[in-house]
Amino acid sequence: MLKHKNIILGVCGSIAAYKSAFLVRLLVKAGANVKVILTPDGANFITPLTLATLSKNPVYTQYFEEETGVWSNHVELGLWADLIIIAPISANTLAKLATGICDNLLTAVYLSAKCPVYVAPAMDLDMWKHESTQANIAKINSYGNTVIAPGSGELASGLYGEGRMAEPEEIISFLDEAIKKSMPLYGKKVMVTAGPTYEAIDPVRFIGNHSSGKMGFALADELARLGADVTLIAGPTAQKCDQNVIRKDVVSAQQMFEACSSVFPETDITVMCAAVADYRPKTVATNKIKKQDSNLVLELEKTVDILANLGQAKKANQILVGFALETNDEENYAKGKLEKKNLDLVILNSLNDKGAGFKSDTNKITIFNRALERTVFEMKSKTDVAKDICSAILKIVK
C-alpha cells in the first residue's frame, strides 16, 4: 500500500527517535519515497546523516540550510506529501499541533499539508496521562489527524507504563491498513476477465482471436489500485498483472465460464473484458488432423455466453459491466447488449477507430449506462481508459 507514496516522516526530540531509523528503512523497503524532517530537538537524538542515508534523501532540519544556502519550502513539502507521519511526536510538538504554533519547519509543513497526518507519541507515562496532553490528543483528533497509540512497557526514565512509541512494524501495519480503508473500493470484491479464449481443433491447433489482454489487465490493476480485491480470469496472454491481483488462467470459453461461475456469486463488481470465442469445434480431434487432398470442413457449435449468464444470475447489489466490440451500427449494438445481457454499463469499442481495440496500447471508448446516457472519450492509453471506466463504476458504487 505504501509503494510509490510520498511520505514525510517528522522526528521530534525523544529517545524513541532511534526507532525512526528502523521506520525509515521499512518505509523505503515498502517502496515509499521518504523525506525526513527533524525538529531542532530531534537532531539531538539522531543524526541527519543516519536518516539521510536510510531515506536516500536530504534531511530537512530548518527553513534555511546555512551551509548550502538552500531554502526549504514548507508549502512545497506539504503539498508533495501523500501522508505525514510524525514518529516520535513529543508532548511539546503535540501541543504545537493542537494550538497551531508554527515555530519550526515540521510544524510549518504540518500546517501547509492537505494529506492525512499520523502521529505516534512517545513520552513518559505521567506526561502522557497529563490532562493537557490528553486534551491536545483529543484536539488533534478532532482536526482529522490520527494518533497511533503508544504501548506500555519500560520507559527511558526507568518507569513502567504507557508512553512507549509504537514499534516501527506496528506503525507500518497501521499505515497500510489506514490507506487500504481510505480507498474507494476497499472491501469490494471484483472479477475481471481478459484476453482471448482458444477453442481446440486438435492437439496442436485452435480457433482464437487477436485479443492481447492489455485492456483487461489494465482494468484489473486499476481496480486493485483503488483498493478492491480483484480476481482476474485470463485467457492465454503474455500480460503480467499487479501482485495484488489474484490471477486464474484459463484457455477455453468453457473453462472461463466455469471459473467465472465459481467467483461471481461473491463479487460486488464484474467487468467482462475478455474476447470470448462465440463458437468452438463441435468435436475436438484426439490426434493431429492430417492433411487430405480435399478441403476440410469444421462444424462449429456455440459456446456459452458467459456475460449473458451472469446477467441472469445478477443480484440487485451486483454491478455488471460488459464490452461491445463492433464494426458497424456500433451504438445500437452496444445498447442492445446492455439490455439483453442485463448490464449496468457497456463499454463500446469500434474497430473503425484507428488505434482502438485489439493489441494496440491505446483505446477509444464510449460508455452507456443503464439510463442509456452516453459518454464519449478521446483516444487514450489503455491505462487511462481503465481509469475512465473505473470512474464510471465508482459513480454507480456511490
Q: Report yes or no: 396 and 379 within 8 Å, Cβ to Cβ.
A: no
Shortest CB 249 distance to ligand CTP, Å: 16
Residue 325 binding ligand CTP, by CB under 6 A: yes
Q: What are phi and psi of 295, to 5 degrees?
A: -70, 160
Of 289-318, binders to ligand CTP (CB under 6 A) are 303, 305-307
Residue 322 binding ligand CTP, by CB under 6 A: yes
Q: Residue 377 to residues 40, 136, 169, 347, 359: CA-CA distances in angstroms?
A: 52, 49, 44, 11, 19
Shortest CB 334 distance to ligand CTP, Å: 8
279 burial (CB, 10 Å; 0-12 / 13-18 / 19+) is middle
Q: Is the dihedral of CA 34, 35, 37, 38 positive or negative?
A: positive
129 is in an annotated binding site: no
Q: Which residue has the cell 523497503?
A: 29
Q: Which is nearer to ligand CTP, 124 or 199 (CB)?
A: 199
Stretch that binds ligand CTP, among 92-100, 122-130, 234-242, 323-331 (CB under 6 A): 323-331
Interface residue with ligand CTP, options 5, 337, 364, 382 (CB under 6 A)? 337
Interface residue with ligand CTP, options 272, 320, 345, 385 (CB under 6 A)? 272
Shortest CB 325 distance to ligand CTP, Å: 4
Q: Which is nearer to ligand CTP, 98 or 348 (CB)?
A: 348
Interface residue with ligand CTP, options 162, 258, 278, 331 (CB under 6 A)? 278
C-alpha 11/C-alpha 322 separation (Å) is: 50
Residue 215 binding ligand CTP, by CB under 6 A: no
Q: Which three cell numbers stand for residue 363?
A: 483505446
Q: Which is nearer to ligand CTP, 39 or 197 (CB)?
A: 197
With a CB cutoff of 8 Å and minimum separation 6, the contacts of 155 are: 124, 125, 161, 163, 164
Stretch that binds ligand CTP, among 101-109, 273-281, 351-359, 378-386 (CB under 6 A): 273-281
209 a catalytic residue: yes
Q: Which residue has the cell 490532562?
A: 131
What is the size of the binding site for ligand CTP (CB under 6 A)? 14
C-alpha 106/C-alpha 99 separation (Å) is: 14
Q: Which amino acid is at 199?
A: E
278 is in an annotated binding site: yes
Q: Which is nearer to ligand CTP, 98 or 253 (CB)?
A: 253
Q: Which is nearer to ligand CTP, 55 or 252 (CB)?
A: 252
Find the helix or strand (DSSP H, E) in which 20 lies. helix 18-29
Cα-based angle 260, 263, 268 (whole degrees, multiple of 5): 110
176 is in an annotated binding site: no
Active-site hit among 73, 92, 209, 309: 209
Q: Which residue has the cell 472461463?
A: 256
DSSP state of 60: B
Look at strands 380-381 and 362-363 and give their pairing: antiparallel
Q: Report yes or no: 163 and 155 within 8 Å, Cβ to Cβ.
A: yes
Interface residue with ligand CTP, options 26, 175, 224, 324 (CB under 6 A)? 324
Shortest CB 58 distance to ligand CTP, Å: 50
341 is in an annotated binding site: yes
Interface residue with ligand CTP, options 26, 232, 274, 393 (CB under 6 A)? 274
382 is in an annotated binding site: no
By CB under 6 A, name the binding residues for ligand CTP. 253, 272, 274, 276, 278, 303, 305-307, 322-325, 337
Residue set of the binding site for CTP: 278, 288, 323, 337, 341
Catalytic residues: 209
